[in-house]
Amino acid sequence: MRKNILITLSLAGGIFLSAFPQKKYNAKQIEALKAEVAEIVQANHKQSQVMVDKIFSFAELGFQEIESSKYLTGILEQNGFTIETGISAIPTAWWATWSNGEGPVIALGSDVDNIPKASQYPGVAYHKPMVEGAPGHGEGHNAGIPLNITAALAVKQIMERENIGGTLILWPGIAEELVAAKAWFVRDGKFDGIDLCIFTHVANNLAVSYGQASGTGLISVEYTFSGDAAHSAGAPWRGKSAADATELMNIGWNYKREHLHPLKRSHSVITDGGDQPNVVPSKASIWYYFRDVKYDGIMEMYVQANDIAKGAALMTGTTMEYKVLGTAWPRHFNKVIAERMYQNILKVGLPEWDENDQTLAKAVQEEMGSKPTGLATKLDTLGLPVKEPVSGGSDDIGDVSWVVPTVTLRFPSNIPGLPGHHWSNAIAMATPIAHKGVTAGAKAEAMTILDFLLQPELVDQAWDYFKNVQTKEETYKPMITADDAPPIYLNEGIMKQFRPALEKFYYDETKYDTYLQQLGVTYPTIKK
Rounded-to-integer distance, Cα 329 and Cα 335, Å: 18
pLDDT for the residue 528: 84
Kindly state the helix (H) or strand (E) to which residue 184 belongs, with its residue range.
helix 182-187
pLDDT for the residue 7: 34
pLDDT for the residue 143: 98
Is 18's pLDDT higher than 60? no
Question: Which of 377, 372, 328, 355 is CA-nearest to residue 476?
Answer: 328
pLDDT for the residue 378: 98
Q: What share of the chain in percent tops pLDDT 70? A: 96
Which has more confidence, 6 or 283? 283
The total of other beta-carbon atoms located within 10 Å of residue 481's CB is 8
pLDDT digits (tens, 9 = 90+) for 49-72: 999 999 999 999 999 999 999 999
Question: Which of 344, 490, 322, 463 is CA-nearest to residue 2?
Answer: 463
Rounded-to-integer distance, Cα 222 and Cα 493, Å: 18
Average pLDDT over residues 414-424: 97
Give the helix ranges, DSSP H, for 393-491: 397-401, 432-454, 457-465
Average pLDDT over residues 10-29: 61
Is 273's pLDDT higher than 60? yes
pLDDT for the residue 23: 80
pLDDT digits (tens, 9 = 90+) for 196-230: 999 999 999 999 999 999 999 999 999 999 999 99
Is 516's pLDDT higher than 70? yes
Q: How confident is the model at residue 388 (pLDDT cuts 50, 70, 90)?
A: confident
Is 6's pLDDT higher than 90? no
Average pLDDT over residues 33-44: 98
Is 356's pLDDT higher than 60? yes
Is 377's pLDDT higher than 80? yes
Question: CA-CA distances (angstroms) from residue 191 to 37, 149, 424, 475?
Answer: 26, 19, 35, 16
Rounded-to-integer distance, Cα 140 and Cα 145, Å: 11
Rounded-to-integer distance, Cα 320 and Cα 221, Å: 13
Average pLDDT over residues 433-449: 98
pLDDT digits (tens, 9 = 90+) for 94-142: 999 999 999 999 999 999 999 999 999 999 999 999 999 999 999 999 9
pLDDT for the residue 19: 53
Is 5's pLDDT higher than 90? no
Rounded-to-integer distance, Cα 223 and Cα 249, Å: 9
Rounded-to-integer distance, Cα 118 and Cα 99, Å: 39
**Burial of 441 by CB count in 10 Å (0-12 exposed, 13-18 middle, 19+ buried)?**
buried
Torsions phi, psi for 440 (to 5 deg): -60, -45
pLDDT for the residue 387: 86
